């Protein structure tokens, strides 16, 4: 052993010399080792009230950055550089797809109006507040070199709620309403940001007329419509292919491969066509979980569910590590020539504007949503509004990626903008992130939360153990009546007749969809109860034998 370890030590020291050829291997090894460390530390800290996985990863990334800087004597920041392409093409899609795949669909569509309000109108309000605030305050801080276009870009960059952060601090099981609102908003506002960002870059700002505004609005409608449609189309295609091709001759590995590949395909084709890949892959996930997932073997069901969750989990951890390491890119810090005081002032301004910008739409829009809300149990209480406001404050990798995209040119002011973005991201993720869990506990203690959960906990899905198959949804309407009764009995406030009427309508939309789904969609695309449970004795037995 001794000589082997000596030889290894000799090789390591040799390696540190020629860092040119092996940079890729070194950085992959380092990242994988750090990811392992994050998993283990995250597990150990899981019970901790304050910490969450993103903060652990961020801090570990920062520490690694310090160590790397110390070892390379401040010369090597190459290993750590943030790569937009890596982020958007490889890390983001699995996270958003998994969110769509695991989202509580009923809860999500119940709150659809509020989600769209937040995700579309909300971003506009926040954008206006932040862009306007920067335009007013930055000149006072003696920051020169920014044009109107840059202020507008800052508005977009800091208006995008980071859905990845939201996933980390809000729990779908504990606070389903809040989760679906904040996360849904995060997905929808990505599309809004894409359009806004493109509009800011391309529109002639001097001559804005009605026609330009209409054009931007048309672009919005086009983008939402096509992105969603694309996601649904790819999802349905996957369901159809698996249902048709694999009937009677299933192959677990091939099914899983097709699901992964088609999910990824939906994102890439949307990006290729300048749509919102995030919106597309999210809807693809929803459709896949509703149809495709029910057409595959038992093993595929277990595998896909956990595989997508695991890939998403690794990607999330990777992103936070990455952001943490990137924060120590000395090159950018040295290029920015503003004083520490100015830099602090800029960052503080941005954080304040983010706080105000979000408050400016969460409270008014919540009130509006409550006003038009059909079902009383989707009303957003003031405590919930506070959490929505707070949980969406975190800015993450999306902001950093947009900032890198916008402030590419090598200049002092651009470097300053990037370092300010990094400070805001670190501050908001760590400070706001640390406080979110305690805040949720304080504002919504577990005994209050039951009124929040409008969705009854679903009966144990017996799909995994095919012997005890319970035909839950086969006969058209599932346990809808029970659900309504359940909600009614939980009701605390007065139930007016108007509300009753509205609720009946909302329930009838759901009823109509169920009937349409059962009559036209499920017979073609499969889904629960429409595909006989698939056993795959032979291939499974072969695999078992292989394990001997």
Report 398-457 residues binding a copy of itself (CB under 8 A): 455, 457
- 517 scored as a contact of a copy of itself (CB under 8 A): no
Phi, psi of 311, rounded to the nearest 5 degrees: -60, -40
Shortest distance (Å) from residue 69 CB to a copy of itself: 20
- 232 scored as a contact of a copy of itself (CB under 8 A): no
CB nearer to a copy of itself: give 449 or 499: 449
Write out 479-531 in H/E/C secondary structure. CHHHHHHHHHHHCCCCCCHHHHHHHHHHHHHHHHHHHHHHHHHHHHHCCCCCC
Spatial contact of 51 and 434, defined as CB atoms under 8 Å apart: yes
- 79 scored as a contact of a copy of itself (CB under 8 A): no
CB nearer to a copy of itself: give 356 or 543: 543
CB nearer to a copy of itself: give 112 or 442: 112
Pick the binder of a copy of itself from 49, 73, 447, 548 (CB under 8 A): 548
- 252 scored as a contact of a copy of itself (CB under 8 A): yes
- 104 scored as a contact of a copy of itself (CB under 8 A): yes
- CA 405 to chain centroid, in Å, comes to 20
Pick the binder of a copy of itself from 67, 71, 208, 257 (CB under 8 A): 257
Pick the binder of a copy of itself from 50, 112, 222, 512 (CB under 8 A): 222
- 99 scored as a contact of a copy of itself (CB under 8 A): no
Region 132-161 residues binding a copy of itself, contact defined as CB under 8 A: none
Query: CA-to-CA distance for 411 and 413, rounded, in angstroms?
Result: 6
Q: Is 43 exposed, middle or buried (0-12, 13-18, 19+ CB in 10 A)?
A: exposed
Query: CA-to-CA distance for 460 and 447, rounded, in angstroms?
Result: 23
Pick the binder of a copy of itself from 22, 408, 491, 533 (CB under 8 A): 22
Contacts of 476 (CB under 8 A, 6+ apart): 514, 515, 518
Give the binding range for a copy of itself (CB under 8 A) out of 1-9, 62-70, 133-141, 402-410.
1-9
Give the binding range for a copy of itself (CB under 8 A) out of 71-79, 109-117, 222-230, 506-514.
222-230
Total chain residues near a copy of itself (CB under 8 A)? 84
Pick the binder of a copy of itself from 245, 352, 410, 481 (CB under 8 A): 245
Shortest distance (Å) from residue 144 CB to a copy of itself: 30
58-61: which pairs have CB atoms within 8 A and are 24 or more residues apart? 58/320, 58/321, 58/323, 58/324, 58/426, 58/429, 58/430, 59/324, 59/430, 60/34, 60/321, 60/324, 61/34, 61/320, 61/321, 61/322, 61/323, 61/324, 61/325, 61/326, 61/327
To 5 degrees, how large is the angle CA 447–CA 167–CA 109?
Answer: 75
Shortest distance (Å) from residue 143 CB to a copy of itself: 30
Pick the binder of a copy of itself from 148, 500, 501, 541 (CB under 8 A): 541
């Amino acid at each position: 052993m001794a000589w082997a370890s000596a030889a290894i030590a000799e090789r390591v020291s040799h390696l540190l010399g020629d860092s040119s050829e092996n940079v890729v291997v070194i950085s992959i090894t380092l990242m994988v080792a750090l990811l392992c460390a994050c998993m283990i530390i995250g597990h150990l800290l899981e019970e901790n009230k304050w910490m969450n996985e993103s903060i652990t990863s961020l801090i570990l990334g920062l520490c690694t950055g310090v160590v790397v800087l110390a070892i390379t004597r401040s010369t090597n920041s190459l290993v750590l550089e943030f790569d937009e392409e890596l982020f958007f093409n490889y890390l983001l899609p699995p996270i958003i797809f998994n969110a769509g795949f695991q989202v509580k669909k009923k809860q999500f569509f119940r709150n659809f109006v509020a989600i769209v309000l937040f995700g579309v109108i909300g971003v506009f309000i926040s954008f206006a507040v932040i862009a306007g605030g920067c335009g007013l305050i930055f000149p006072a801080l003696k920051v020169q070199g920014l044009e109107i276009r840059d202020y507008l870009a800052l508005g977009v960059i800091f208006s995008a709620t980071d859905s990845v952060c939201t996933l980390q601090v809000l729990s779908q099981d504990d606070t389903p309403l809040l989760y679906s609102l904040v996360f849904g908003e995060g997905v929808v506002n990505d599309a809004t940001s894409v359009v806004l960002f493109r509009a800011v870059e391309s529109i002639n700002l001097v001559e804005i007329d009605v026609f330009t505004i209409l054009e931007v609005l048309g672009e919005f409608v086009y983008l939402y419509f096509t992105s969603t449609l694309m996601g649904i189309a790819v999802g349905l295609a996957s369901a159809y292919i698996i249902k048709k091709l694999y009937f009677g001759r299933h192959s677990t590995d091939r099914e899983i491969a097709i699901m992964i590949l088609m999910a990824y395909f939906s994102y890439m084709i949307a990006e290729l066509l300048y749509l919102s890949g995030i919106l597309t892959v999210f809807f693809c996930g929803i459709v896949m979980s509703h149809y495709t997932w029910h057409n595959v073997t038992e093993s595929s069901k277990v595998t896909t569910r956990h595989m997508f969750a695991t890939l998403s989990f690794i990607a999330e951890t990777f992103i936070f590590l990455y952001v943490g390491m990137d924060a120590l890119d000395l090159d950018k810090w040295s290029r920015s020539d503003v004083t520490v005081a100015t830099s602090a002032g800029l960052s503080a301004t941005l954080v304040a504007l983010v706080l105000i910008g979000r408050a400016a739409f969460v409270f008014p829009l919540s009130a509006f949503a409550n006003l038009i809300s059909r079902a009383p149990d989707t009303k957003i209480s003031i405590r919930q509004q506070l959490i929505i406001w707070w949980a969406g404050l975190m800015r993450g990798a999306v902001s950093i990626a947009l900032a890198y995209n916008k402030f590419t040119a090598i200049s002092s002011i651009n470097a300053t903008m990037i370092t300010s973005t990094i400070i805001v991201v670190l501050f908001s993720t760590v400070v706001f992130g640390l406080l979110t869990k305690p805040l949720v506990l304080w504002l919504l203690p577990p005994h209050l939360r039951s009124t929040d959960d409008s969705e009854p906990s679903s009966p144990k899905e017996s799909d995994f153990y095919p012997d005890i198959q319970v035909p839950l949804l086969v006969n058209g309407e599932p346990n809808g009546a029970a659900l309504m009764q359940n909600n009614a009995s939980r009701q605390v406030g007065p139930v007016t007749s108007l509300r009753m009427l509205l609720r009946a309508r909302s329930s009838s939309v759901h009823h109509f969809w169920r009937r349409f789904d059962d009559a036209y969609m499920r017979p073609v695309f499969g889904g629960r109860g429409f595909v006989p449970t698939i056993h795959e004795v032979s291939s499974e037995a072969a695999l078992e034998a292989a394990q001997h």
